[in-house]
Amino acid sequence: MDQSIAPIKAEFWGRPSTLADSQAEAPEAVSKPKVSRRQQKRDRKGQAANRLCHSFMKDGTCAFGDGCRFSHDVDRVIEIKPRALPGRCPYSSLETCPFGPTCGRYDFSKAAGTLRQLQDDSGHAHLAKIWDVVAHQQGGESNADLMSHQREKPRLDLRGKLYLAPLTTVGNLPFRRICKGWGADVTCGEMAMCTNLLQGQSSEWALLKRDSSEDLFGVQICGGYMDTMTRCAQLLEDQIDVNFVDVNCGCPIDLVCNKGGGSALLQKPERLEGVMRGVSTRLSCPVTLKLRTGVSQSHDVAHTLLPRISSWGVAAATLHGRSRHQRYSGKANWDYIGRCAEAAPQLQLVGNGDIFSFTDYEEHIAKTPQLASVMIARGALMKPWLFTEIKERRHWDISSGERLDMLKRFCSFGLVHWGSDSRGVENTRRFLLEWLSYLYRYIPIALLDVVPQQLNWRAPAYVARNDLEVLMSSEHPSDWIKISEMLLGPAPEGMRFTPKHKSSAYPPTTAPRDAEQENG
C-alpha cells in the first residue's frame, strides 16, 4: 500500500497544538493505557444503574425485579440526569415525548415530569415465530423446487448513480442521511448476518431500518448456506420494503469467513450459486452481489463468476478490486475490474476501491465505459462531501465550520434514530467517535502542494488555518471526545475510546489481521 507522506505546503509545516498535546505537556497529566473494546463495553454496562429500566417505564413492572441492572428509581435518575442539551427535542412534533423525564432535551421538574410509555418501533419481537412458519412452509421443498420459483422483478438501474457502500458500524442510518444530503444516489444498510435475523435479534434488524430520504435503498445480508439464506430472504420479503437485497461475498473478516459467509463463498462457486438462486426465488425485488477479486491476490476468480451470475437471478454486482487476503492493503486493481466488465457485458457491474476525488471517478469511468457506476466506501467516511465533488466536478476546500455543521446534523439525526434519552445520547456519541476516527485523516485542499489527496496518504504534522481545523485533524481520541462534547454536552466521567475498526492507524503494506474491517 502507498504510504507516502502527504505533500503539505511549507507554510503549514509544524506541529499542531491540540487538547491532547496540552494535556501531555501538563505535569499532572497521567498517560492512560489503551482501552480494549471489551473494556469499553464493561464501562457502558457499569453506567446502566443510572438509566431507567425500559420495562419499568412501559408498565411499571420488571421481570427481573431487584436483580435488574437498570434503575427503577425515577426521582434519582431525574436528579442525576445531565443538563439538558441545547436545541429542540427531535420528538417535539409528537403529542408526548416517548422518553418522558429521561429525555436529554428537556428539564423536567419532579412535579411536572411524568413517565411516558416507550414506543417499541422495532416490530420484530415475533420474528422467531415467523422463522418457524417459514421453515415449516419450506420443509417439503427440495433445493430444485426452490430454484424453480420465478418472480417478476422490477428493473434496477444503477447506471450513472453514485453508490454509498454498506459500511459496518459507521454506515448507520444517520450517516447515510448525511451522505444523501451530499448527493449519494444509492444507499445500502450495514451487513446483517442471516442467522441473527432469523433468530429475531433486534440489534440486527435495526440495521435494515430505512430513512424516508433513501429513495433507492437496499439491505445487505451475509450467510454461507442456501437453506438459511433462503429462509432469511423470505422473511425480508414479508417484513420490509426495499429496492434491492445485496448478498455479501466480499467480507474478509475471519469471524464471517469461518462460518462459510463473505469471501469464503468465492472458493465454493456451487454453493454460491445455490445461495443466489435461493435468495432470488424468494424475493420480489432485484438481488445484487458484492464480491472481491478472489481469496488470494495470485488467484483471481471473479472473471469466471460474473459472466454466469445473471442466470442465477442477479441483477447487478459490485466488484471490490482487492482479494480477501489483501483486506485493505495495496491499491485496488482497476485493470482487473475493467477486464471483468468486458467479460460480463450483460451485467450491470459497479467498481469499488480507492475512489477519493472526482478525478479518480472520471478516470475509472473513462477507462472502463462498460462500468455502470462506482461504489464509494472509505472515501465517503473520510470526506462525505465527495459525492458533491463528483457531481460538481471540483475539489472542494470545505471549511472547518461547514464540517462542524455536518457533525451537528449527524447528532440531530442520531438523537432521532437512537433516542433522546441518556442511552440515545450515549449511542450517538459512540458512533460519532467511530466516524471521527476516519474524518481526521482528511487534509484540507488548501494545505496540499499536490491535489487531490490520495486515500492512503499519511498526514505529516502540520499547522492548520484555525483552532477548529487543528482539532479536527487530531489523531488523539481525547480530542475526538472534545468534539463530541461540543455537540452532545459533557461525556461520562472517565470515558475512554478506542475505534472499533482501528481506522486511526494506517494499514501496513502486508495484509494485516487488524486492518480496517469495513464491509468487504
User: Going by DSSP bridges, is the β-strand pair 187-193/287-292 parallel, antiparallel, or unpaired?
Assistant: unpaired
Residue 338, H or E segment:
helix 334-343
Task: State phi, psi for 12 to the nearest 5 degrees.
Answer: -105, 5
Closest by Cα among 354, 369, 295 to 326: 295
Residue 520 domain-assigned (yes or no)? no
Q: Please report which confidence band the pLDDT of residue 290 belongs to, taking 50, 70 and 90 as the band edges.
A: very high
What is the percentage of the chain residues whose pLDDT exceeds 90?
Answer: 62
Instruction: Express each pLDDT in 393-438 by its tens digit.
Output: 999 999 999 999 999 999 999 999 999 888 899 999 999 999 999 9
Residue 370 and residue 317: Cα distance in Å, rounded? 13
Residue 205 and residue 242: Cα distance in Å, rounded? 13
Interior angle at CA 218, CA 214 and CA 222, nearest 5: 145
Residue 448 domain-assigned (yes or no)? no
- Residues taking part in catalysis: 251
Alpha helices, DSSP H only, in 393-517? 400-418, 422-439, 467-472, 477-488
Rounded to the nearest 10 degrees, how much is the dihedral formed by the CA atoms of 322, 325, 331, 337?
A: -20
Where in the sequence is the domain holding 174, given as residue range(s)?
Answer: 160-392
Q: What is the mean pLDDT of the chain?
A: 84
Instruction: Express each pLDDT in 3-17 by its tens digit.
Output: 588 999 999 988 765
* Residue of higher predicted confidence among 106 and 462: 462
Instruction: Express each pLDDT in 149-183 by its tens digit.
Output: 556 789 999 999 999 999 999 999 999 999 999 99
Tell me the β-bridge partners of 155: none
Q: Are 226 and 145 in contact (CB under 8 A)?
A: no
Residue 360 and residue 61: Cα distance in Å, rounded? 58
Residue 221 domain-assigned (yes or no)? yes
Residue 269 domain-assigned (yes or no)? yes
Three-state SS at 77: helix
Q: Is the pLDDT of residue 501 over 60?
A: yes
Residue 358 domain-assigned (yes or no)? yes
Instruction: Express each pLDDT in 114-132 by its tens digit.
Output: 333 333 343 444 444 444 4
Alpha carbon 170 to its chain's center: 3
State how many domains the chain has: 1
Residue 290 domain-assigned (yes or no)? yes
Output the pLDDT for position 24. Answer: 53
Peptide bond between residue 307 and the one before it cis (omega within 30 degrees of 0)? no
Which of 388-422 are b and which e, b meaning 16 or more Cβ less than 10 Å from the residue's Cβ?
bbbeeeebbebebeebbebbeebbbbbbbbbbbbb
The CATH number assigned to the domain holding 322 equals 3.20.20.70
Q: Are 141 and 123 in contact (CB under 8 A)?
A: no
The mean pLDDT of 186-205, rounded to a whole number, is 96
Q: Please report which confidence band the pLDDT of residue 461 belongs to, taking 50, 70 and 90 as the band edges.
A: confident
Residue 203 domain-assigned (yes or no)? yes
Q: Is the pLDDT of residue 112 over 50?
A: no
| Integer angstrom CA distances of residue 203 from 122, 425, 457 | 9, 17, 35
| Integer angstrom CA distances of residue 319 from 90, 261, 298, 304, 356 | 39, 16, 17, 13, 17
Residue 466 domain-assigned (yes or no)? no
